[in-house]
Structure 1
Amino acid sequence: MSTDADEKTTRVTRKGQVTIPKELREEFGLEEGDELRWEKTEDGIQIRKATQSAGRGMLVDDDISEEKREEMAEEMEADIREKRRSEWQP
């Protein structure tokens, strides 16, 4: 991996896999099981964390605070990650 101040590079393996540098995983909250979206742009490829935030709160009562909604969503995401991890264990 090559590193400059704000630039990091990695290599693509034979299987098409890449490693996301630890600093970037931590900075952007990427964890095992998270999905990434690959987008073609005029400048090349852009990678974004795929979130399901668009549907957040759809099944929650209107009188629930935004803070509570976010807390509930984070708990659900943690549960999903844990389920994925347990399914991936040999």
Structure 2
Amino acid sequence: MSTDNDSEGETTRITRKGQVTIPKELRAEFGLEEGDEVRWEKAEDGIRVRKATQSAGRGMLVDDDVSEDKREEMAEEMEAEIREKRQSEWQP
């Protein structure tokens, strides 16, 4: 794998099998772990990669009368907390 840190971001090479490695810093920042799925999307300026699915249990412990917007807000807050915890564990 070859990485290039510049103002455009990091680059990695595609293997013969069409595989790519997502840089460690980006996996940590966006909470990507082994087994997670990513979605490849066409964009006007190239290709965009996004995490394909959220946790299957997302929203299970929230009362039924909580709005979808509030559920999404709560889930995003939890994801940010988890991401911060993971980042702090990875730093020496």
TM range (shorter): 0.5 to 0.7
**Which residue in the other structure is 2:28 paired with?**
26
Structure 1's consecutive aligned runs of 4 or more residues displaced over 2 angstroms after TM superposition are: 55-58
- Structure 1 vs Structure 2: percent identity of aligned residues? 74
Q: Provide structure 2 residue ranges, at least 5 long, that are not aligned to the other structure.
A: 80-92
Give the partner amino acid of 1:36: V
Within the candidate set 49, 62, 76, 1:47 is matched to 49
CA distance in 2, matches of 1:40, 1:31: 23
Task: After TM superposition, give the deviation of residue 63 of structure 1 in Å.
Answer: 5.7
Q: Distance in 1 between matches of 2:39 and 2:33?
A: 14
TM-superposed deviation, 1:37: 0.4
Distance 1:39 1:24, change over 3 A: same
Structure with more strand by fraction: 1
Alpha-carbon distance in structure 2 between the residues aligned to 1:27 and 1:63: 32
Distance 2:46 2:7 in 1: 21
* TM-score normalised by the chain length of structure 1: 0.59
Structure 2 match to 1:17: 19
Query: Superposition pairs for residues 1-90 of structure 1, below 5 Å?
Result: 1-5=3-7, 7-52=9-54, 56-57=58-59, 61-62=63-64
Structure 1, unmatched stretches of 5+, are 75-90
Q: Deviations over 1:21-71 (max 9, x none)?
A: 000000000000000000112211110001247x9447x65268x5xx85x
Q: CA RMSD in A?
A: 3.2
